[in-house]
Structure 1
Amino acid sequence: MPTTPADLAACPTRGERADPLALLAAQARNRVPELIPVRHARMAETPFTFYRGAAAVMADDLSRTPDTGIITQLCGDAHLSNLGLFFSPERRMVFDLNDFDETHIGPFEWDVKRLAASFAIAGRNNGFDDKTNRKIAKTVAKAYRRTIRRSVSMTTLECWYAGIDVESMLADLGDRLDTSMTARTQKALRKARHRNSAQALAKLCEIDPEGNARIRSDPPLLVPLTERFTDEDAAVVEERVRERVDSYRATLPLHVQTLLAQFSLVDIAFKVVGVGSVGTRAWIVLMMGRSLEDPLFLQVKEAQRSVLADHVPSSGFDNQGQRVVEGQRLLQAASDLFLGWSTGLDENGDRRDFYVRQLRDGKGSVVVEALEPEGMKLYARLCGMALGQAHARTSTRFDIARYLSETTGFADAMADFSINYADLNDGDHVQMTAAINRGELSVYDLAAEDEKAKGKG
């Protein structure tokens, strides 16, 4: 019997679920051990930050619930903070999905559930009542459904090129943005436009007396390679990172290879990023053109198996970096010019897959904590549309649209699921904080880190 939208509202009970902390501990076994306390600290801050880091927990939960069986390319971690602003290669400011570490094939509604539930959890974090949070989560699903249903009347190429141009978006919203929201949006755009390699150079580097740029030290979140390892080991790791960058070049189009050849590798550092990604191996590489005014920062980030991989059919990629890159190119309307992948050995001689991208290229995001209900609802509509456009780039859009047209109650089911899952997530967050208070989980002192950052400012 086909799965109905009402079936999709189901959440597993606590007795039916795997232990969330056990799932996170299993995931941590393949990460850098000394960074796991940073991950715990970031996840424990709020139920929303826990949710951001708990994609593996939700993937396991979703695998225990009914699904439509309509398989498409998923973002895999489509929460609201994984959408944002960035420059297209044509230098237009666009809004789209921007994190694909967990991209994989799977049931289409898993992305919708992850996105809608993130709004319910973020809404609670902002003090909204659940009647409001349910409406906002429902807005995500309605915008997604509307975008997918519209896509089947478009040509294949129209779907492929469809995207959200930020300037056009602001013009369309018009007077639906209040004055304070408009001011915040314009501020975010100005900030994003200046987030590039030149800005990263100023923020992340120091200039020595000879006029050479070097990545500064801010352990444990930013550690130059020469500080992270002994001289002998640092030389080995540097050679391996250089080998990864060289092998990555071959995955780029020839014209981008020619562009990249105009830059020379200057310095390497280990940088902690995100919440869910903390503990994966992530390097930043400073490349330089002809002068200090001509920098390029690349991020060489480890790609591990997607959290969805144990629950859905195989993606067919042996290299996890290639899985991330190909998933991103398929789902994103405009991808980073320097996006590519590589593989290599880590400091222990174990194989690791990586993907490479620009560290910053106009990237910006909404300050979710500053949104009032109406602003959150507008953002929910925007995110639901962006997710719908991503899925519409695949041929599966016809199957998804047929399902959404032939059944009723999809948006209500997504809203009900979101509130139910917010309850589960709240309990998981309490479980983590209790384990921290009992001394069972080690944590890094983020408050001390914040004070240190204020002192530098």
Structure 2
Amino acid sequence: MTSNSLSTATRDELMDRARAAGIRGRSSMSKTQLAANLRESGAAGPGEGSGEGGAEGEDGGRRGTRDGRVPVGSRVESFRQLAEARARGEMVLLPRMLRGNDRRMHVRETVREDHETRIATSDVEAREKFDKLAGSVFHFFRGTNLLFYRDILGEDARMPTVLALGDVHPGKFGVMPSSDNVPVFGVNDFDDAFYAPFTWDLKRGVVGFMLGAAEKSGLKPKKQRAVAERFVRGYIEGIAAYATDGNEQDEQLRLDNAPPMIAELIGDVLERGRAEWLAETLLDEQGSGFRTDGELVPVSSRRPEFQDLVDRYVRENDVAVPARAGGMRVKDVAERKGAGTASLGLSRYFVLIEGPRADGTDDLLLEFKRARRSALAGLVPPSGFEVDRQGDRIRHAQRVHLVNGDVFYGSVDFDGHSFMVRERAPFRDDMSLGSLSAGEWKEYAGICGGVLAHTHAMSDENGLIDYDIEPAIMDAIGGHDLFVDDLLRFADEAAARVRRDHEHFVADHELGAFRSVDVVYR
């Protein structure tokens, strides 16, 4: 690559070349820094390597106190070693083999570790999250990814690797804006995306659909199993179709081609006008900025700071700013409170971008959400696919998984952390799970299985996988009935374990177990 081509390349092109050259710290570099390091012919850049810190994106360091105590901190390295040993075929003790009090202590320690920083700082939203998890098995499942994946560490090392979504359950699919600002249906959250065996998404998904169908619609075990089976078979059908047709690069689920239940969902969100959505949910009476309520806390004094941040984000992500965004002028900034389940308590900001009419009727809303460590990091079987800083990892997943997705999806570093960025639109919505009948649950599960197959099929088109992934997955699946039965038996055991773990969590929560973190005394 010549000096001239370095100066004209996009940041994505420079990132690809930096990845190939093994330049460490590349994901935190600007385009100028990337080009400079490439000119030095592979010299190490400033930085931070792969960006794999401790739980929730924290540094995992052992910070001492005056009385000699240090937090126990991250056990990532210990579990990484277990995962590597299991991937080599060694016999290791898996956390899911623990019973009784040993399992209860493992659940407690894992939840504390996963939230060390938020517990230590007495984060109000962390306490709200624990209350939320205590009140629902399904929410507990959704909010304890790390617990789930430590139970399958190093598993399925022989299986083909894909860019996995990382947290599959019925609530991870929905309607969102495409690059053309029209609603499409697909996977809608990439926080835990990671290169992993394709079966990891399926294992998380079958358990999620079982628990979701049980809690949201009261389905009995036999019908829960039928829902989970339809999810797996929808996936197999999707992968088989992509292996034959190879049309995954052009496929979107839109109003004109979606199955009836998805078309109805898209149709419903199209009825919401932007002006009404802004006035009813976000803006003050004058339309000049954010309202103040329990979810939004305006921080208008930070507007100049966020204007600089938005300008930098546009540059670093090569955002093709559409005309509807005007001049990307930051009109107001607010902290967003109480959002999410797994991410509840992580910093979020809503940034209001003034629209061309400048009257509060066509403004855009960008969300800046702090990126956390993927729950799969250090647990998947070792592979040759490197993951960059957390925000870049999430941005990469969105660009791989969605065809012509949200043009504003990106990442940026500020306040010492990595943040992902996306647009919040009036037609962002998901399925009302509590209203689904048993038959509708099966239909929805099959659709979601097919959508997941599409995201996996894109791993060799836009992702880092360097071989034809769909035939490899079909070969690994082998006999369909046996593969489905294997996953359903896994789901039966895993769902029962989640329910027992929830009982342990509730008992510990009532006793105040999550008001402090584990420490080591010198």
Alignment partner, residue 127 of structure 1: 218
Equivalent residues in 2 for 1:49-128, closer than 5 Å: 49-63=139-153, 65-125=155-215, 126-128=217-219
Question: Could you tell me whether the CA contact under 8 Å between 1:134 and 1:416 is conserved in 2?
Answer: no
Mean Cα deviation higher: 331-340 or 72-81: 331-340
Distance 1:65-1:326 versus aligned 2 partners, 3 A rule: closer
Cα RMSD for the two superposed structures: 2.8
Alignment partner, residue 12 of structure 1: 96
Equivalent residues in 2 for 1:8-47, closer than 5 Å: 12-15=96-99, 19-31=106-118, 33-47=123-137
Give the number of the structure whose alpha-carbon radius of gyration is greater: 2
Cα distance between partner residues in 2 of 1:95 and 1:317? 26
- Aligned: 1:146 with 2:262: no
SS in structure 1 opposite 2:186? Answer: strand
TM-score by length of 1: 0.81
How far the C-alpha of 1:84 sits from its partner, in A, is: 1.0
Mean Cα deviation higher: 244-253 or 329-338: 244-253
Cα distance between partner residues in 2 of 1:391 and 1:200? 34
- Choose from 278, 292, 306 the match for 1:217: 292
Distance 1:264-1:120 versus aligned 2 partners, 3 A rule: same
Distance 1:255-1:334 versus aligned 2 partners, 3 A rule: closer
Equivalent residues in 2 for 1:407-446, closer than 5 Å: 409-441=482-514
- Choose from 401, 409, 423 the match for 1:331: 401
How far the C-alpha of 1:257 sits from its partner, in A, is: 7.0
How far the C-alpha of 1:429 sits from its partner, in A, is: 1.7
Question: Could you tell me whether the CA contact under 8 Å between 1:24 and 1:54 is conserved in 2?
Answer: yes
Cα distance between partner residues in 2 of 1:331 and 1:255? 19
Mean Cα deviation higher: 272-281 or 101-110: 272-281
SS in structure 1 opposite 2:309? Answer: helix
Question: Could you tell me whether the CA contact under 8 Å between 2:229 and 2:488 is conserved in 1?
Answer: yes
Cα distance between partner residues in 1 of 2:150 and 2:273? 37
Cα distance between partner residues in 2 of 1:159 and 1:330? 11
Alignment partner, residue 309 of structure 1: 377
- Aligned: 1:386 with 2:451: yes
1:399-440 residue CA offsets vs partner (Å, 9 max, x unmatched): 112112367511111112122111111112222222232233
Distance 1:410-1:298 versus aligned 2 partners, 3 A rule: same
Cα distance between partner residues in 2 of 1:317 and 1:49? 28
- Aligned: 1:344 with 2:418: no
How far the C-alpha of 1:12 sits from its partner, in A, is: 2.6
1:234-283 residue CA offsets vs partner (Å, 9 max, x unmatched): x5x65554443222111344632776452311111111321111011110
Question: Could you tell me whether the CA contact under 8 Å between 2:320 and 2:407 is conserved in 1?
Answer: no
- Choose from 466, 472, 494 the match for 1:399: 472
How far the C-alpha of 1:308 sits from its partner, in A, is: 0.8
Question: Could you tell me whether the CA contact under 8 Å between 1:72 and 1:394 is conserved in 2?
Answer: yes
Question: Could you tell me whether the CA contact under 8 Å between 1:240 and 1:344 is conserved in 2?
Answer: no
1:192-244 residue CA offsets vs partner (Å, 9 max, x unmatched): 22557534422343436xx452222224x322226xxxxxxxx5x65554443
Letter in 2 for 1:213: S
- Choose from 370, 374, 387 the match for 2:439: 374
SS in structure 2 opposite 1:152? Answer: helix
Distance 1:11-1:410 versus aligned 2 partners, 3 A rule: farther
Q: Give me the identity figure in percent.
A: 24
- Aligned: 1:137 with 2:228: yes
Cα distance between partner residues in 2 of 1:206 and 1:331? 32
- Choose from 345, 361, 367 the match for 1:299: 367
How far the C-alpha of 1:374 sits from its partner, in A, is: 0.6
Alignment partner, residue 21 of structure 2: none
Letter in 2 for 1:78: V
Letter in 1 for 2:368: V
Question: Could you tell me whether the CA contact under 8 Å between 1:11 and 1:65 is conserved in 2?
Answer: no
How far the C-alpha of 1:368 sits from its partner, in A, is: 1.0
Question: Could you tell me whether the CA contact under 8 Å between 1:197 and 1:297 is conserved in 2?
Answer: no
Distance 1:137-1:254 versus aligned 2 partners, 3 A rule: closer
Cα distance between partner residues in 1 of 2:499 and 2:126? 21
Letter in 2 for 1:279: G
Question: Could you tell me whether the CA contact under 8 Å between 2:108 and 2:508 is conserved in 1?
Answer: no
Cα distance between partner residues in 2 of 1:298 and 1:153? 39
Cα distance between partner residues in 2 of 1:115 and 1:94? 21
Cα distance between partner residues in 2 of 1:432 and 1:389? 35
- Choose from 207, 210, 228 the match for 2:284: 207
Q: For this pair of structures, how many residues does the alignment match?
A: 404
Cα distance between partner residues in 2 of 1:214 and 1:428? 44
Cα distance between partner residues in 1 of 2:95 and 2:439? 28
Cα distance between partner residues in 2 of 1:128 and 1:26? 34
